[in-house]
A and B are shown apart, each in its own frame.
Chain A
Amino acid sequence: MLPLTALLIFGLAIGFSILARGRAVQVSAGKLASLHSRPAYHGLYSFLWVLIVGLVVLIVLSVGWRLWLDAQLMADIRAALPDAPIIEHDLILNDAKAISDGTLASRTGEVRTSIAAAYGSGNTLRVWVSVALAIASAVGVGFVTLAKISPDWRARNRSENIIQVILWFSATIAILTTVGIVLSLIFETLTFFNQIGWRVDKFLYGTRWSPLSGVQEGVIDGDKVGALPLFTGTLLITVIAMLVAVPIGLFAAIYLSDFAGPRVRAWAKPMLEILAGIPTVVYGFFAAITVAPFIRGSGEALGLSVASESALAAGVVMGIMIIPFISSLSDDVINAVPQSLRDGSYGLGATKAETIRQVVLPAALPGIVSAVLLGVSRAVGETMIVVMAAGQGANFTANPLEAVTTVTVQIVMLITGDTDAKTAAGPAFTLGFTLFCVTLILNMIALSVVRKYREMYD
């Protein structure tokens, strides 16, 4: 009913915009140039007003009424069953709605039936009144806009203002969402630190991580939330990944930009970009099923003991994942080094190798650094590969052949585990916040480096 009404309002808006155009043509008395705004703007003006007023009335009325109705019914339930726990009240309300809608309820009973009846009548009233008022206001506003049309009416400026407000509103929503997420991260982190008695040091420097083992609901043991093994695990895997990705990615970029002919370039660059499009979950099981056993097998052949899930396997595959990222960005910055610099170097009798090493790379260095930093922040935040290939044990080790765990893996474990969400949320949010800070700083450094670099050559 309500979605149908929204559609109807949209139709009304279109209808009024057509009427408004016609009316604008009519008041111009055949001389379109005498209108301040072209007929299309009169149409747009009516369209926007009808649509916005209709939808706002519909949404505000139906949602507000719904909340009010729920509150009323909850009060009735509480009056009927004052002793039942709150969770039971919620359940009764849900069941009553289900009964009234004719879907399956978990239980039936006297209270439920009576509440269902109350809900049924209240809800019908709510829907019909909302629909009626929304349509009425849309039509009303439509006629008001029609009445305003005259040659001097500044429909263009006014529609542009309305559109500007809509744009502002969208931007605000985007920003507020970000701010909201960050604030909730901060809030949950503070709550968590409060639970462990503000011993932030225990979180940052403790080496024992099993936050949920043997804890009762809502209680966290400060001695078991040492996240250091997660940080070192993340660091270890990131370092391995960068050891793979930076040389290969950079050399690939140098080859592509300064050695490859145009034909090689034409297919090699898209190929690399396809590599960047492979979902990380695919890399993940590639790491777990192919690379990890291979590393284990070759390690055993050399007489080393290798865990079946190792930091090395995850790191290498993650490195492969990041190669296209680094090579593509580096290729762009190396290409952006002006040809005149290369000419200058060749003109002094430098070889290609000397030119690349001593002129092109130093000139592109800031861009390359920022590509590497962005690569690092990808590695730090990467989840699927490490979940599948790095193991879960929070080992405090620097040995790449052992299983390690990372910040992201532990967040996954906490949230998907069977401990209740409220207890698990604290450590998970805190880890998430830590991760957020690290990647934010890395990205900020990278972006400021890139900006400096741009200034140098523009």
Chain B
Amino acid sequence: MDSMTNMRMSEASIEARDIKMSTKGVDVFYGDTHAIKDVTVDILDNTVTAFIGPSGCGKSTFLRCLNRMNDTIEVCRVTGDIRLDGEDIYASRVDPVQLRARVGMVFQKPNPFPKSIYDNIAYGPKIHGLVGNKAELDEVVEQSLRRAAIWNEVKDRLDQPGTGLSGGQQQRLCIARAIATAPEVLLMDEPCSALDPIATAQIEELIDELRADFSVVIVTHSMQQAARVSQKTAFFHLGDLVEYNDTNHIFTNPDDQRTQDYITGRFG
């Protein structure tokens, strides 16, 4: 535990914040596989929430429930209650397409579109009709790139393909792309697992800044990363939510023996 206490810890305690998303009794099935079992979690506004747990425990699956990305998987069935600002996102009148503009997503592997850097960012605002003219679009593109801390690196080559950037730059481009649709929640599925340590540090710093404007949910298999960037941590194991608490609490004094075993590296 010594190395853990030496690490830069996030704020000691989380004062009461608004609940941005709430889930109650969520179950997910892939065909006959029961991937998520009765999970209840509240995601707070302006907070970074980390999902940790051994691989295959259902972190990605649960994350993808939050913006209904699981709808694109045919065999996947989601039950339970998931709300964004108190509104049931699985209600029939909710259009998953509009929901995903409000709950953006960044993926494990950087996946810039084979378009110019500018068009990568402009893609979301354009399809959602968020801007009226070119000048506004330019403004949105610049703002998004600035907030993703990549503006200075790409401002002179906005017309070049996004696929030509380095891995870390590509991932920040993808974050900028997600920011451009003005989401309220940002979901990140292991956003640093394909990146080198320097790019990882940049992304982590960025995530900390993004907290000011969004509610961020990040899946990570690195406990150090969870400790560094998050204020709340949820530990999943075999589809169960074992423990959900302040990050400090989880890493210093977990309630559950399985959490204790996992963060001390005894399994996983």
A positions within 8 Å CB-CB of B: 261, 338, 340-351, 354, 358-359, 362-363, 456
Q: Is the beta-carbon distance between A341 and B69 smaller than 8 angstroms?
A: no
Q: Is the beta-carbon distance between A348 and B100 smaller than 8 angstroms?
A: yes
Q: Is the beta-carbon distance between B113 and A359 smaller than 8 angstroms?
A: yes
Instruction: Determine the interface band of chain B, counting residues with CB < 8 A from chain A.
Output: 20 to 34
Contact of A347 among B69, B114, B127, B163 (CB under 8 A): B69
B117 sits at the interface (CB 8 A)? no
Name the 10 nearest CB pairs between A and B, nearest first. A347-B105, A349-B100, A349-B101, A340-B111, A344-B111, A348-B124, A363-B114, A349-B97, A354-B127, A359-B113
Interface residue SS majority, chain A:
helix
Nearest to A362 among chain B residues (CB) is: B114
Contact of B114 among A346, A350, A456 (CB under 8 A): A456
How many Å lie between the Cα of A255 and that of B99 in the bound state?
26
B73, chain A: closest CB distance, angstroms: 10
A340-B109, A344-B177, A348-B181 given; 20 more Cβ-contact pairs under 8 Å: A340-B107, A340-B111, A343-B111, A346-B72, A347-B67, A347-B104, A348-B104, A348-B123, A348-B124, A349-B97, A349-B98, A349-B100, A349-B124, A349-B127, A349-B128, A350-B97, A351-B97, A354-B127, A359-B123, A362-B113
B217 sits at the interface (CB 8 A)? no
Contact of A346 among B100, B109, B128 (CB under 8 A): B100
How many Å lie between the Cα of A135 and that of B106 in the bound state?
76
Q: Is the beta-carbon distance between B115 and A362 smaller than 8 angstroms?
A: yes
Q: Which of B46-79 contact A (CB under 8 A)?
A: 67, 69, 72, 74
B178 sits at the interface (CB 8 A)? yes
Give every chain B residue within 8 A of A342 (Cβ-Cβ): 72
Known: A340-B109, A362-B115. A348 touches B72 (CB 8 A): no
| Listed residue (A340, A348, A350, A351) with the most chain B CB atoms within 10 angstroms of its CB | A348
Give every chain A residue within 8 A of B178 (Cβ-Cβ): 347-348
B115, chain A: closest CB distance, angstroms: 7
Q: Is the beta-carbon distance between B127 and A348 smaller than 8 angstroms?
A: yes
Contact of B72 among A343, A349, A354 (CB under 8 A): A343
| Listed residue (A261, A340, A350) with the most chain B CB atoms within 10 angstroms of its CB | A350
How many Å lie between the Cα of A137 and that of B170 in the bound state?
70
Give every chain A residue within 8 A of B74 (Cβ-Cβ): 261
Q: Is the beta-carbon distance between B111 and A341 smaller than 8 angstroms?
A: yes
Give every chain A residue within 8 A of B174 (Cβ-Cβ): 344
Known: A340-B107, A350-B127, A358-B123. A345 touches B113 (CB 8 A): yes
Known: A349-B98, A349-B128. A343 touches B115 (CB 8 A): no
